[in-house]
Amino acid sequence: MEAWELPVCLNLYLSKLNLVKGLDNLNEHQIIKEYFSDVGSAYLAEHGIRVSVGDDAAVLSPPKGKESVISVDTSIEGVHFLKAMNASDIAYRSVSVALSDLAACGATPSWFTLALSLEDYDPIWLSGFRRGLEDISSELKIPLIGGDTTKGNLSITVQVGGYVEKGKALTRKGAKVGDLIYLTGTIGEASSALESIKKDNLVDLKKSRYLRPKIRFGVSNKLKGIASSAIDVSDGLFQDLNHICTASKVGANVYLEKIPTFLSKSLSSEEMNKGDDYEILFTSDKTNKEKIEGISKQEKIPICEIGLIIKGYEVQIITPEGDFLKASSGFQHF
């Protein structure tokens, strides 16, 4: 017998049953309980968070002598991640890229929230997504303290919060003529991983630099009082350096051959400017050279000197032959 042949009241009864029990119809509150409660709840107390997911709002006490640092980032399919990626990598990456802004400020991360818009209820996808949230949460020992869950095109907004000693936050403003320009890690690996993901539609561990960016909290924490300005490299090395120049009202000379690329590949200036690197780009007075070398050794992260802050207002790229290149624009959102 087909459903339409059943009496109307029985049909209504069955659909109601399905609404409660059927996995297709879990309501928003059940989804929140199942997938977003207790992510990193073991770390709530140590971050002074008294009320978290499940109440109207989170309640937290900031540590004495510190300032709050807050940032938010939205990740959209096809722009910030690809459908071919595992839900766990999508979750990890969305939180990680948001945290990168805290590292750029020299802040220690403390919590995150998640505003999620989902196309439908897919328990397998959501379980994977929760695993990715748990991975980053336990790696950095930070809890998920709230959010919002709605139906719509897949969109992931992550807000992150952390703390920094009063007055010590690193900003884009503060680079001075004569300062050296430094970069952590290497450039180009994530954008080349992204290209191969797009090409072969395979998502494997070798592409982890794109899938699961590691944020340089160890280094950035030690740069307070040493860096005169800092930014994270998200939209492209030269574009992000340009942000420092604009905010600090200075110019920059960068030397192409000094820029550390992954596996020492020879990349064009366009390829170096593709973004997604999530390294820290900073400036510092010449007298801090040894301290910076020390931080690099302690944290086991290469930190390379790539240029010099000069008078002016723009970024100039200098080739090994001594020619000047104008920086191409990096990733453009619009």
Binding residues for ligand ADP (CB under 6 A): 32, 36, 53-56, 114, 116, 144, 146-149
Q: Please, what is the minimum distance in Å from the beta carbon of residue 30 to Mg ion? A: 15
Q: Please, what is the minimum distance in Å from the beta carbon of residue 145 to ligand ADP? A: 7
Q: How many residues are given for the chain?
A: 334
CA distance 73 to 89: 16
User: How many residues of this chain interact with Mg ion, rule: CB under 5 A?
Assistant: 1
Give the residue with the Cβ less far from Mg ion, 57 or 124.
57
Asked if 111 and 58 touch (Cβ cutoff 8 Å), the reply is yes
55 part of the interface to Mg ion, by CB under 5 A: no
Q: Please, what is the minimum distance in Å from the beta carbon of residue 30 to ligand ADP? A: 11
Give the residue with the Cβ less far from Mg ion, 119 or 148.
148
Q: Please, what is the minimum distance in Å from the beta carbon of residue 147 to Mg ion? A: 8
Give the residue with the Cβ less far from Mg ion, 46 or 148.
148
Give the residue with the Cβ less far from Mg ion, 148 or 200.
148
Q: Which two tokens stand for residue 191?
A: 């954008």
281 closest CA partner among 314, 319, 323, 252: 252
CA triple 38-155-128, angle to 5 deg: 45
φ/ψ of residue 173, rounded to 5: -95, 135
Which residue number has the CB closest to ligand ADP?
147
Q: Please, what is the minimum distance in Å from the beta carbon of residue 90 to ligand ADP? A: 14
Q: Residue 149: what residue type?
A: T
Q: Which two tokens stand for residue 23?
A: 């996995």
DSSP letter, residue 32? I
Give the residue with the Cβ less far from ligand ADP, 31 or 325.
31
Residue 292 binds which entry of Mg ion, ligand ADP, none, with Cβ cut-offs from 5 to 8 Å by kind? none
DSSP 85-144: S-HHHHHHHHHHHHHHHHHHTTPEEEEEEEEEEESS--HHHHHHHHHHHHHHHHHHT--E
Residue 22 binds which entry of Mg ion, ligand ADP, none, with Cβ cut-offs from 5 to 8 Å by kind? none
Per-residue x/- mask for Mg ion, residues 109 to 148, rule CB under 5 A? ---------------------------------------x
Which positions touch Mg ion (CB under 5 A)?
Answer: 148
